[in-house]
Structure 1
Amino acid sequence: MPIFYGKASLMNYLKPIKALHSTIGFVPTMGALHQGHLALMQKSLLENENTVVSIFVNPTQFNNSEDLAKYPRTFDEDVKKLTALNPNIILYAPEVVDIYDGTPLAEHFDFDGLENQMEGKFRPGHFNGVGTIVKRLFEIVQPTKAYFGEKDFQQLQIVKKMVAKNHLNITIIGCPIFREPNNLAMSSRNERLSALERAEAAIIYKILTSVKAQFFTKSTAEISEWVQKSFRNNPTFVLEYFVIADEATLLPCTRKYKNKKYRAFIVVIVNNIRLIDTISLN
C-alpha cells in the first residue's frame, strides 16, 4: 500500500493520476479506524478509480488539551486494516509540520451561523480547526468526491458549506452511521470506554429512538424535558446537550413545519469521554 508522510511526495504521486482525469475518492480520518471508517472507504472504492485516506490527529480542532493527548493513536493497526480492505488505497499520514508549515494555527471561517450551534457552543473554535484541516487536505488531495459519516452531522453540513462558499469542485457524500451490536454509534473514542461503560452507553440510542417516536405527538420542549429526566435517572452519564434542530440551518426547532427536515442531536459525557449521536426525525 502506498504510504506518504509528506504532502509534496503525495501530490507528485497523484499528478499523473489527475492528468488522466481519473476519479479520486477521499476519506479524511484521525485514525483509530473502525468499521464506520472502513464503510466510507468501501463506498469510495466502489465509486472512484482511486481512493486516498488520510490519518491525522488535527490539534487545531481540539479545545481540550487532555482530549487531544488521550485521543487513541493506533497507526500500525490502522495500516493493517487498510491493507486488508484494499492494498491499492493511498495513505497520507502527515506530521503536524507538514500540514501547518510551522505553528498549528486555525483560520477563521464564516459558515453562515452553522458553526454557532451545538458543538460550536460547547467547543469554542472547534469548527475553525475543522475548516482549516479539511480545506488544506482538499487542496493537497484535490479529490473528486469526499466521504464523511453522518454521526458528526454538524461537521458534514459545515464541510458542505465550506465547499460551496469556496467554489470547490468536490462532491461531499454523507454516509449512514455505523453502530456497535448494542447500537452505540461507532467512534474512535469508544476505545477509551470500559466494558461496562460501553454496554451501558446503549441507553443513548434507546433514548434517541424514543425521541423519534414522540416527535409527532409531543412538543420539542416536552421531549427535551423527558430526555433530561432520563439522564438524571442515570448518574453514570452527564447530558451535555440535547437539541432538536432543522437539518439545513441547525437552528433549534421551536415550531414544526411539514416541508422541513428535523434531526435530534445529543452529546453525553461518560468518565470525561464525549459520546456524540444523532437521528433523523422525519
Structure 2
Amino acid sequence: MSTAAGSQLPPSSIPIYTTVAAYREWRRKAFEERKSVGFVATMGALHEGHLSLVKRSLAENDLTVVSIFVNPAQFAPHEDLATYPRTFPQDLELLSAQSYTASHADSTEPSVIRKASAVFLPTVPEMYPSGISQNTAEQKGTFIEVKGYGHQMEGKSRPTFFRGVATVVIKLFNAIEPTNAYFGQKDIQQALLLKRLSRDLLLSHPDPNHIHIIPTARDPSTELALSSRNAYLTQDGHKVAPVLREALKAAETSWDEGATKSECVQNAVAVIETRKALALSDGLNVDMRLDYVELNNSDDFEVIDAQSRKSEAGSHPVILSGALWVDKTRLIDNIILGDGNKIIA
C-alpha cells in the first residue's frame, strides 16, 4: 500500500497522514461506517510499552491510529528535544508486525485480523501554526493549562511539562477524534490529568470514561519500566537502573505494614543509597541522583501528610512515585497503593 504522504517517507503497509486535512478524510469514512477508532499517542522510538497500548487498542476497536510526534512544548530549553530518539523506519516495522484476530460471536462469520489502520505523522508547523518555542515566555498562540493539578509530582521537577502535554494532546484529540485512547501507567499523572482535561473541556472524542490507563510494561528480568529514554543508558547504567523499582517496592512493603509516609520514603531512599555505595565498590562508572520519592493523593495529587498511614488513606488510591537520574537519563516509575482497579484498566 502506498503512503498517504510524500515519497520521502519509507514504504509502509500502514497509511501515513502528515496533515490534519488528509487524516480527516480518512476519519470521516470511519464515522460513516460507524467504526470505533482507538488511539495511541507516542513520540516515536517505539518499544514494548507502546506496543502493549497498540495491542489493547487492536483488541477493543475496529480501527487503530498511532500518532508519532516529538512535541517541542513539553521540553524545557535545557532538556533533550534535539537528541530525543527518532527511529521512524523501525517504528513502522514494529507497528506493521502487530495484529489481533477478532472472532465473531456468530461462528459462521470469518474471523477478522486487525492491524494498525493509520499513522498520524504531523510536522511541527502543522501542530503549531502560530510557531513554537521551548521558552514559554516567548510562546505565542493558544495553550492549555490544567490549573492546580500540574505543579506536584512530575510538575514540581518539570514546571512547564504538563502545559505542553495538555496542549499537544488536546490538539491530537481534536485531530484524531478517537473513540478510545490509551496511555501507560508509567506516566500516571499525565494520564489522570488527561482524563480531567477531557471532563473539564466536555470532550466527546474521547470522553473521560474512554481514556484508558494500561499497566506499565517492564523488562521481564529486571522490572525496569520501559521507556524510549532507556536508550540513553550506558552498560553500567542499565545495571543500576532497576533500583528505582526496588526502592518503590520497599516503600510499598512498609506502607502495607503500617509505616508512616515519612518512614516509607526513608526506606526507599535507603535502598537507593545502598545501591549507590555498592555501585561505587563494584567500580561502576555511573552517577545516581535521586530526584524524588513521594506519596500523593490520586484525585488531586496533593502530597500525603508525613505521618499518614495506610489505615488513614481513605477510599482514594495513593500514588507512590519516584524519579531517579542515572547519569543523564531521568527514570520515572510509580506504584498504586490501594485499589488500583479504580485507576488502571
Task: Tell me the TM-score normalised to structure 1 length.
Answer: 0.95
Distance in 2 (CA, whole Å) between partners of 1:233 and 1:51 is 45
Distance in 1 (CA, whole Å) between partners of 2:148 and 2:188 is 15
In structure 2, the partner of 1:33 is: 46
CA contact (8 A) 1:114 1:154 kept: no
Q: Deviations over 1:148-188 (max 9, x none)?
A: 00100000111001000010111100000000121000000
Instruction: State the structure with bigger RCO (CA 8 A, min sep 6), 1 or 2.
Output: 1
Superposed structure 1 runs of 4+ greater than 4 Å apart = 105-108
- 1:223 equivalent to 2:251? Answer no
In structure 2, the partner of 1:273 is: 329
In structure 1, the partner of 2:20 is: 7
Distance in 2 (CA, whole Å) between partners of 1:103 and 1:110 is 18
- 1:174 equivalent to 2:213? Answer yes
Distance in 1 (CA, whole Å) between partners of 2:93 and 2:241 is 28
- Match for residue 273 of structure 2 among 210, 220, 232: 232
Q: Which amino acid aligns with 2:243?
A: I
- Match for residue 211 of structure 1 among 240, 247, 251: 251
Structure (1 or 2) with the larger CA radius of gyration: 2
Q: Greater helix share, 1 or 2?
A: 1
Q: Which moved more, 1:155-164 or 1:225-234?
A: 225-234
Q: Deviations over 1:93-129 (max 9, x none)?
A: 1110111114124744442421111111111211110
Q: Which moved more, 1:268-277 or 1:104-113?
A: 104-113
- Match for residue 174 of structure 2 among 126, 139, 147: 139
Distance in 1 (CA, whole Å) between partners of 2:29 and 2:316 is 44
Unaligned runs of 5+ in 2: 1-13, 100-114, 133-138, 277-286, 339-345
Please give the root-mean-square deviation of Cα atoms over the aligned residues, in Å: 1.5
Identity score, percent = 34
Distance in 1 (CA, whole Å) between partners of 2:313 and 2:120 is 44
Unaligned runs of 5+ in 1: none
CA contact (8 A) 1:83 1:89 kept: no
- Match for residue 302 of structure 2 among 251, 262, 276: 251
- Match for residue 48 of structure 1 among 46, 56, 61: 61
Q: Which amino acid aligns with 1:241?
A: Y
In structure 2, the partner of 1:113 is: 148
1:227 counterpart SS class = helix
Summarize the Cα distance change of 1:176–1:271 in structure 2 as closer, same or farther, 3 Å threshold: same
Distance in 2 (CA, whole Å) between partners of 1:64 and 1:240 is 19
CA contact (8 A) 2:65 2:116 kept: no
Distance in 1 (CA, whole Å) between partners of 2:40 and 2:254 is 35
Summarize the Cα distance change of 1:193–1:166 in structure 2 as closer, same or farther, 3 Å threshold: same
Q: Which amino acid aligns with 2:264?
A: I
Distance in 2 (CA, whole Å) between partners of 1:200 and 1:279 is 19
- Match for residue 120 of structure 2 among 85, 92, 98: 92
Task: Tell me the TM-score normalised to structure 2 length.
Answer: 0.78
Distance in 2 (CA, whole Å) between partners of 1:231 and 1:64 is 29
Q: Which moved more, 1:22-31 or 1:213-222?
A: 213-222
Q: Which amino acid aligns with 1:198?
A: H
Distance in 2 (CA, whole Å) between partners of 1:99 and 1:199 is 38
1:53 counterpart SS class = strand
Shift of 1:50: 0.6
In structure 2, the partner of 1:263 is: 319
Q: Which amino acid aligns with 2:244?
A: I
CA contact (8 A) 2:254 2:263 kept: no
